[in-house]
Chains A and B, each alone.
Chain A
Amino acid sequence: MSPGAFAYLGGMVLACAALAISRRNPVHSVLWVLVMFFHLAAIYLLLGAEFLAAVQVIIYAGAILVLFLFAIMVLNIRQEEMGPRFSGGWPLALALVLALAVMLLGAWGSLRLPEAGPFGPELLAQKGGHTKALGEVLYTTYLLPFELASLVLLVAIIGAIVLAKKRLK
């Protein structure tokens, strides 16, 4: 990835994230997160992960954000227009975030990246594309976690229906 592309995409991701957590109207927040997700998908594309870029757009931007918009529409929240946006304890929260940053940067010094593995461009070209190679790994080595992920989604569907439905008399 070229430095110019990284600077644009990374700067847009950080700017959209900062805008998303600071807007008063939740709909505006969701729309800024949508812009951020498209830039993240572009980063994935430039990193050679085409399948994940497609999944990012389809699932995150297409499904999860629509769920958020749907919830905002159903709840019809007017209170956010009034009153302060941030809770009273925000100086403490800022201090906690700065402490977390210091801790993560301190752990950075002990980071040692291992040698590069075999999943390089040659292997991808030999297997016929990134998506095919990723699918082979997913459906052989990681088959059981893949099935368990579907179970997680099933539990989430049932739980969401039970929680959100009206009480039947």
Chain B
Amino acid sequence: MVGPEAFLWLSLGLFLIGTLGFLTRRSIIIMLISIELQLNAVNLLLVSLSHYLQDPRGQVLVLFVIPVAAAEAAIGLAILMALFRLKAAAHVEQIKEMRG
């Protein structure tokens, strides 16, 4: 049997990969995908702890994280589309109007 520590390790690894992708990639689409990876790492931790602690609240919380992830993806991609129409830019370095 696999204990809860193994799921903590797996979730930590997935979250760190998502953070690394968000911080290093130039493409805004892949940055949004990295945020999805981070949210999935948290979901995995919630489901596994809900299983080992025999408590439904973890799974209920996952059901609230999923709509927020969907809303974030929809708004993020809509902002990307508006930006692309304005500047034809899909990379973070091309957006530098706020630079002092």
Contacts and interface: CB of A to CB of B under 8 A. Distances in A.
Interface in A34-64: 36-37, 40, 43-44, 47-49, 51-52, 55-56, 59-60, 63-64
B26 A134 contact: no
B66 A55 contact: yes
B56 A33 contact: no
A156 B77 contact: no
Given A75-B80, A156-B71, A84 B26 contact: yes
A96 to B, nearest CB: 6
A55 B73 contact: no
Interface in A139-168: 142, 145-146, 149-150, 152-153, 155-157, 159-161, 163-164, 166
B52 A2 contact: no
B63 A156 contact: no
B33 A152 contact: no
Given A87-B24, A94-B20, A21 B37 contact: yes
Contacts of A113: 4, 49, 52-53
Contact of B54 (A2, A17, A118, A163): A118
Given A2-B2, A55-B63, A157 B74 contact: yes
Interface residues of B, number: 68
B60 interface: yes
Contacts of B32: 68
B70 A64 contact: yes
Nearest to B91: A79
Contacts of B48: 43, 47
A21 B23 contact: no
Given A85-B26, A149-B64, A21 B73 contact: no
Interface in B43-85: 43-44, 47-57, 59-60, 62-64, 66-75, 77-82, 84-85
Interface of A: 1-3, 6, 10, 13-14, 17-18, 20-22, 26, 29-30, 33, 36-37, 40, 43-44, 47-49, 51-52, 55-56, 59-60, 63-64, 67-68, 71-72, 74-75, 77, 79-80, 83-87, 89-90, 93-94, 96-97, 100-101, 104-105, 108, 111, 113-114, 116-120, 133-134, 137-138, 142, 145-146, 149-150, 152-153, 155-157, 159-161, 163-164, 166
Given A10-B6, A116-B55, A138-B63, 11 more contacts: A14-B17, A49-B59, A59-B66, A60-B40, A71-B29, A75-B84, A85-B26, A101-B16, A137-B57, A152-B67, A152-B68
